[in-house]
Structure 1
Amino acid sequence: MPPVYYGDATRTTTAPPSKRSLHTDASASGDFQIPTAFDSALNNNFTNNCATFFKTMLQSETVTGCHPFSLMLRTSNALFKASKSLVRITQTLEATCAADSTQCTAGTNELARKLLTDDACKVDYDNNNPQVVQAYNGLVAYEPLYLASCLKDDEGDYCYANAVTNTTSQGVDAIPFYLPLGVPMHSGARPTCNSCLQDEMAIFSQFAANSSQPVSQTYSSAADTISMYCGSAFVNVTAAPLKGAASTSTVAFTPTISLLIMFFFFLFQ
Structure 2
Amino acid sequence: MHLQRRDGTPTISARASETTLETDATPSDFTVPRAFDTSLSNNFTAPCAAFFRGLITDSNFNDCHPFSLMLQTSSGFFDASKSYIRITRTLEVTCGVNEDQCTSIMDGLALELTSDANCAVDYANDNPQVLQAYNGLLAYEPLYQASCLRDDDGRYCYANAVTNTTATTDAYPYYLPVGIEMPPGARPTCNKCLQDVMAIFSSFGGNSTQPISQTYNGAAAQIDMGCGPTFVNKTATPLKGAAPGNDVSFIPTITLFVMLFLYFFQ
Gaps of 5+ in 2: none
Q: What is the correspondence of 1:64-213 to structure 2 with a 5 Å cutoff?
A: 64-170=62-168, 172-213=169-210
Alignment partner of 2:73: what SS? coil
Distance of 1:166 and 1:202 partners within structure 2: 21
8 Å CA contact 1:169, 1:192 repeated in 2: yes
- Deviation of 1:247 after TM superposition, in Å, equals 6.9
Deviation at 1:153, TM superposition (A): 2.1
Shift of 1:216: 0.1
CA contact (8 A) 2:20 2:165 kept: no
Q: Aligned partner of 2:193: which letter?
A: C
The whole-number CA distance in structure 2 between the counterparts of 1:267 and 1:222 is 18
- In the TM superposition, 1:239-254 aligns within 5 A as 239-245=236-242, 248-254=245-251
CA RMSD of aligned residues (A): 2.2
1:249 CA drift (Å): 1.3
Deviations 1:84-123 (A, max 9, x none): 1111101110001000000000000000000001110011
Cα distance, 1:62 vs structure 2: 2.9
Where relative contact order (Cα < 8 A, 6+ residues apart) is larger, the structure is 1
Aligned-partner SS, 1:173? coil
Is residue 48 from structure 1 mapped to residue 46 from structure 2 by the alignment? yes
Aligned mates of 1:79, 1:15 — CA distance in 2 = 22
Q: Whole-Å Cα distance in 1 between the matches of residues 255 and 54 of structure 2?
A: 27
Cα deviation, residue 193, structure 1:
0.4
1:138 partner SS: helix
* Alignment-derived partner of residue 21 in structure 1: 21
Q: Give the AA of the match of 1:198.
A: Q
SS at match of 2:209: coil
Gaps of 5+ in 1: none
| CA distance in structure 1 between the partners assigned to 2:15 and 2:233 by the alignment | 23
Aligned residues between the structures: 259
For 2:117 and 2:173, locate their aligned partners in 1 and report how far apart those are by CA, in whole Å: 34
Task: Tell me the secondary structure at the aligned position of residue 170 of structure 2.
Answer: helix
- Structure 2 length-normalised TM: 0.90
